Amino acid sequence: MAADDRGDFTGRWEHEKTHLRKAFFRLDIAAFLICALVGLDTLGTVAAKGPQGLVWLLFLAVFFFLPYGLLAAELGSSFPFEGGPYVWTKLAFGRFAAGVNQVLYWLSNPVWLGGTLTIVAVTTWEKFFFALPGGWKYAGGAVFVWIGALAVLLAFRVGKWLPTIGAVARIVLIGAFLVSVVVYGAEHGVHLRGADLKPTYIGFVGLVPVLVFNYVGFELPSTAAEEMTDPHRDVPAAIARSGVLAVVLYGAPILGTLLVLPHAAIGSLGGFVDACKAVFTVYGGHVAADGSVTLTGAGSVMGEIAALGLIIGVLTSGITWSMGGDRAQAVACADGAGPAFLGRFSARFGTPVRVNILSSVVSTVVMAAAFLLSKGDAQKYFSAVLGLAISTTFISYLLAFPSLYVLRRRLPDVERPYRAPAAGLVAALPTVFVVFTLVQLVWPGLGVGWFGTSGDPAGSLPEGFAHDRLGYVVSQLVPLALCVGLGVLFYVLGTPTRRARRSAAEPGPSPAGDAPADR
């Protein structure tokens, strides 16, 4: 390997890694992946686009999800270093690119947690329990965020059970929903017709960002690779099993929602919640002529249990991504790609407590700012923050995905317990979809009406931004520019760590077995 900074790690990280403990087993990894991959917050968004969402979900399962899983299986088993995608990107493209990339990957989670997950949790609570007026909405959001924060601070051998609980909650919730759909459909009939499944380009551009976002997370367990007992074997096995289950857990509730609710009645924010309320009327309650639902008796009890399950589901999604993203960011900071203050792991818990707290502060600020700026328009808040969470995540994948092909050429002698077939194609396919997704996020509807396709590009604007393309574009580009700027700032603040590394002149470990000099 060339003598540059791609393979070495600073002495600071060599010290911090002594706080890690191996307590991450194959079953834990699979549950971690289910929590990371199966996000309940976007089920309504997909269902709101109509039955063709099922077609595009299966299409992307083959052409995005499958190659992405193959890619993550090879990188995770061949380069099992704490920090996962940060390390892969650094080995392929260098510390600066990886450091800026990592800040985007990390920031996407507190934006997502403080944004879409919080609004889904608050909306679900209000639909099944009681409204949160005025400042109580902020208080409810803050409680949601900081419960997640405290959970992430736990030692990994304890905290890893939360994704397991979340995975079980998803399976139970979706299972109960599907059983109820069958009973409801037998009594009231269904709304889905075969002709409605016909795919269109306008449906594709509207669905791809959300569907691809639903399908990311395979790399997340690898952020704790040095806490795994056998990453060489467990990573590929867990990816294979959880990948199949994730497709089923996405497709089934979307299909159920489309069966029981008329297309016009499905909202992107509350579609799945509304479907749950409707089908639970089979246990007690009724659906009025105007579509409003009243639950009584056992139906009310079932609804409240499902609501709590949904809130637990979205909370454990945020916790799982925080566990991974915060670890990778702390590794980057300890490695000189960020301020050393944030590159510390607790000797007691083995967790990056400082990054965990900072993430929760960012989530709280996002939650409060979004509630304030949206002036109570929850749908507008949901659309803007979901788009930003997706775009920050996906920009980081522009380097992480090609790392597979680059590392095959740069480090051909590294032992690879699992080798993805056709590495160039496997790396290219998900990268192409990521680029397309980013374009559609910044300028929704691009290409609609071109080359004889039908539709109006303005119709692709997210709910809450009708006839306000400029407002939506600004809501995406300004925060993205700030995130990139923060990544550069973090790298500058890591200068003392890199300088100390050079002064010590002590070569760090390298996956290639050499000791390249730092930049």
Instruction: Encode pLDDT of 336-390 as tens digits.
Output: 999 999 999 988 888 899 999 999 999 998 888 777 765 555 555 566 666 777 7
Least confident of 99-113, 133-147, 395-409, 451-465: 451-465
Predicted confidence band of residue 406 (pLDDT cuts 50, 70, 90): very high
Q: What phi and psi, each to the nearest 5 degrees, are found at residue 234?
A: -75, -35
Whether residue 201 is contained in a domain is answered as yes
Q: Kindly provide the residue ranges of all beta strands, DSSP E only, lying in 275-431, ordered along the sequence.
A: 285-287, 293-295
Give every CB contact of residue 247 below 8 A, 6+ residues apart in sequence: 57, 58, 61, 65
Judged on CB neighbours under 10 Å (0-12, 13-18, 19+), 25 is middle
Q: Across all residues in the chain, what is the average pLDDT?
A: 82
155-214 pLDDT tens trace: 777 878 888 888 888 888 888 888 888 888 888 777 766 666 777 777 787 778 888 888
The string over 1-23, giving b where at least 16 C-beta atoms fall within 10 Å of a residue's C-beta and e elsewhere, is: beeebbbbbbebbeebbeebeeb
At residue 242, the 3 state secondary structure works out as helix
> What is the DSSP track for 83-128?
TTHHHHHHHHH-HHHHHHHHHHHHHHHHHHIIIIIHHHHHHHHHHH
Distance CA 464, CA 475 (A): 12
Give the confidence band of 141 by pLDDT, cuts at 50, 70, 90. Answer: confident
pLDDT above 90 as % of the chain: 26
Q: What is the pLDDT of residue 100?
A: 94
Partners of 294 in beta bridges: 286
Contact 60, 433 (CB under 8 A): yes
> Mean per-residue pLDDT for 215-235?
90
Q: Kindly give, in sequence order, each residue whose CB lies less than 8 Å from that of residue 377, ignoring residues fewer than 6 positions away.
A: 464
Provide mean pLDDT across the span 312-338: 91
Q: Judge whether residue 515 has pLDDT over 60.
A: no
With CA atoms as reference, report the closest residue to 465 among 377, 366, 372, 375. Answer: 377
Contacts of 298 (CB under 8 A, 6+ apart): 283, 284
* CA neighbor of 288 nearest in space, from 298, 278, 273: 278
Measure CA 366 to chain center.
17
* Confidence at residue 173, expressed as pLDDT on a 0 to 100 scale: 85
Asked if residue 5 belongs to a domain, the reply is no
Q: What is the pLDDT of residue 2?
A: 37
Helix, strand, coil fractions of the chain, as percent rounded to 5: 75, 0, 25
How far apart, in whole angstroms, are the C-alpha atoms of residue 129 and residue 127? 6
- Mean pLDDT over 114-124 rounds to 83
Contacts of 133 (CB under 8 A, 6+ apart): none
Query: Measured on CA atoms in the order 355, 357, 361, 364, is the torsion positive or negative?
Result: positive
**What would the pLDDT profile of 458-467 be if each residue is shown by its tens digit?**
666 666 666 6
The structure tokens listed for 252 are 């089934």
Local confidence band at 516 (pLDDT 50, 70, 90 cut-offs): very low
User: Exposure of 271 by Cβ count < 10 A (0-12 exposed, 13-18 middle, 19+ buried)?
Assistant: buried
**Per-residue pLDDT, 514:** 43
pLDDT computed for residue 380 by the predictor = 59
The whole-angstrom distance between residue 387's C-alpha and the CA centroid of its chain comes to 12
Residue 34 lies in a domain: yes
Decide if 511 is inside a domain: no
* Amino acid in the structure at residue 366: V
Task: Quote the domain boundaries for residue 53.
Answer: 11-504
Residue range 80-91: average pLDDT?
Answer: 93
Cα 120-126-127 angle, rounded to 5 deg: 85
CATH of the domain at 88: 1.20.1740.10
Tokens, residue 359: 């993430």
Residues facing residue 24 across a β-bridge:
228
Domain count, the chain: 1
CA–CA separation, 317 vs 298, rounded Å? Answer: 28
**Amino acid at the residue 225:** A
- The residues pairing with 285 across neighbouring beta strands, listed in sequence order, are 295
The reply to whether 193 falls in a domain is: yes
Confidence band, pLDDT 50/70/90 cuts, at residue 92: very high
Contact 156, 227 (CB under 8 A): yes
Residues 152, 318: Cα–Cα separation, whole Å: 10
Q: Which two tokens stand for residue 58?
A: 């299966």
Residue 515 inside a domain? The answer is no
The answer to the question of residue 438 being in a domain is yes
Separation CA 100–CA 93 (nearest Å): 11
Q: What DSSP state is assigned to residue 261?
A: S
Identity of residue 468 = D
Q: Which two tokens stand for residue 9?
A: 């790690």
- Under the banding of pLDDT at 50, 70 and 90, the label for residue 48 is confident
Residue 287 β-bridge partners: 293
Higher-pLDDT residue of 71 and 285 is 71
**At 451, is the pLDDT very low, low, confident or very high (cuts 50, 70, 90)?**
low
In a domain, 360, yes or no: yes
